[in-house]
């Protein structure tokens, strides 16, 4: 990724991105939260991708080269954090749940209303207090460097509904299941099965945000039945696909008010 270093001038920002629009690769000295008030955002680094719908925010510590991609028309709000606030957040990129109070504080902080430095600082305290009250969300999809794993991942991504086993995929690229299994653990920290579930849930988040039905998404992402999809989705996201989809509608309605 070519590096484009940006100097922070305005502490808070509100940007509109169209569907599939993306930012150049860049980094900031200061850590910042990126919140999609509407739409869904992917944040991509050399280490993988993180995804945030409108009830999540991505935390990016200072110094991480990254870029954003919008899925659907996206209202992106950016809040930079001083060291005092950043020290309470993870030392690595992370997806964090955004409770209603944190959402309202973020929208207020990134609005066009003039605020004193003291007022902006108080809003940041509210945001941090709310975001740190819930655990980090497991929405990171790591990307390995081994060429054999990259080939397997390409095959899986091209056909999410395929039930092909790691052994079958290995046969197609000329690598043993044992070798690929070891590499998955070493380079992603996950088993192949865990990684594929993570990929499918990432894809399901985007499909649900487009308004597709739970049944259609379950089928497209490779689950044999809706119940298995609901169980896997809920285990990762903390809510059912239906509830997640309703929360996106509530967030859109809140932004329109």
Task: From first to last of the 257 residues of the chain, give the pLDDT tens digit.
Answer: 555 444 343 468 888 988 888 899 988 888 999 999 988 899 988 888 898 888 889 999 988 899 999 988 889 999 998 888 889 999 999 999 899 999 999 999 999 898 898 899 899 999 999 999 988 887 888 888 899 999 999 999 999 999 999 999 999 999 999 999 999 999 999 999 999 999 999 899 889 888 899 999 999 999 989 999 999 999 888 789 998 888 777 666 665 55
Please state the length of the chain. 257
Q: Sign of the CA dihedral 128, 130, 131, 134?
A: positive
Q: How many helices (H) and strands (E) does the chain have?
A: 10, 7
The pLDDT value recorded for residue 22 is 87
Alpha-carbon distance of 172 to 167, in angstroms, equals 9
Burial class of residue 51 (count of CB atoms within 10 Å of its CB; 0-12, 13-18, 19+): buried
The pLDDT value recorded for residue 160 is 95
Where do the domains of the chain lie? 12-131, 144-251
**CATH classification number, 144-251, choose in 1.10.10.60, 3.30.750.24, 3.40.50.2300, 3.40.50.300:** 1.10.10.60
- All residues at 6 or more sequence positions from 32 whose CB lies less than 8 Å from its CB, including other chains: 59, 60, 78, 79, 80, 81
Cα R_g (the chain), whole angstroms: 19
The pLDDT value recorded for residue 253 is 63
Look at residue 16 and give its three-state secondary structure: strand
**CATH classification number, 12-131, choose in 1.10.8.640, 3.30.70.3270, 2.60.120.810, 1.10.3370.10:** 2.60.120.810
Alpha-carbon distance of 206 to 191, in angstroms, equals 23
Selection from 211, 256, 254 nearest residue 241 by Cα = 211
Q: Do domains 12-131 and 144-251 have the same CATH topology?
A: no
Alpha-carbon distance of 254 to 75, in angstroms, equals 12
The pLDDT value recorded for residue 251 is 62
- All residues at 6 or more sequence positions from 119 whose CB lies less than 8 Å from its CB, including other chains: none
- Within 10 A of 19 (CB to CB), how many other CB atoms are there? 13
Dihedrals phi, psi of 148, to nearest 5 degrees: -65, -40
The pLDDT value recorded for residue 6 is 43
- All residues at 6 or more sequence positions from 191 whose CB lies less than 8 Å from its CB, including other chains: 181, 184, 185
Alpha-carbon distance of 217 to 244, in angstroms, equals 13
Q: Sign of the CA dihedral 160, 98, 142, 237?
A: negative
The 3-state DSSP composition of the chain as helix, strand, coil percent (nearest 5) reads: 45, 20, 35
- Within 10 A of 87 (CB to CB), how many other CB atoms are there? 11
């Amino acid at each position: 990724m070519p590096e484009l270093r940006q100097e922070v001038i305005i502490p808070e920002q509100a940007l509109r991105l169209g569907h599939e629009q993306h930012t150049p690769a860049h980094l900031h000295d200061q850590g910042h939260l990126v919140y999609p008030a509407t739409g869904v955002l992917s944040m991509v680094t050399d280490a993988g991708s993180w995804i945030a719908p409108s009830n999540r925010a991505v935390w990016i510590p200072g110094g991480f080269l990254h870029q954003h991609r919008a899925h659907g028309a996206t209202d992106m709000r950016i809040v930079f954090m001083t060291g005092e606030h950043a020290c309470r957040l993870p030392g690595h990129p992370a997806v964090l749940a955004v409770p209603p109070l944190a959402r309202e504080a973020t929208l207020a902080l990134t609005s066009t209303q003039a605020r004193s430095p003291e007022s902006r600082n108080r809003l940041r305290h509210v945001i941090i207090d709310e975001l740190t009250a819930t655990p980090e969300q497991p929405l990171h999809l790591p990307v390995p460097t081994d060429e054999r794993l990259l080939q397997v991942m390409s095959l899986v991504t091209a056909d999410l509904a395929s039930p092909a086993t790691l052994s079958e995929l290995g046969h197609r690229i000329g690598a043993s299941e044992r070798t690929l299994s070891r590499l998955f653990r070493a380079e992603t920290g996950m088993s192949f099965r865990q990684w594929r579930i993570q990929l499918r849930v990432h894809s399901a988040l985007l499909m649900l945000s487009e308004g597709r039905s739970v049944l259609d998404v379950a089928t497209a992402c490779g689950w044999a039945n809706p119940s298995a999809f609901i169980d896997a989705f809920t285990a990762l996201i903390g809510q059912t696909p239906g509830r997640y989809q309703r929360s996106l509608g509530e967030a859109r309605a809140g932004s329109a008010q």
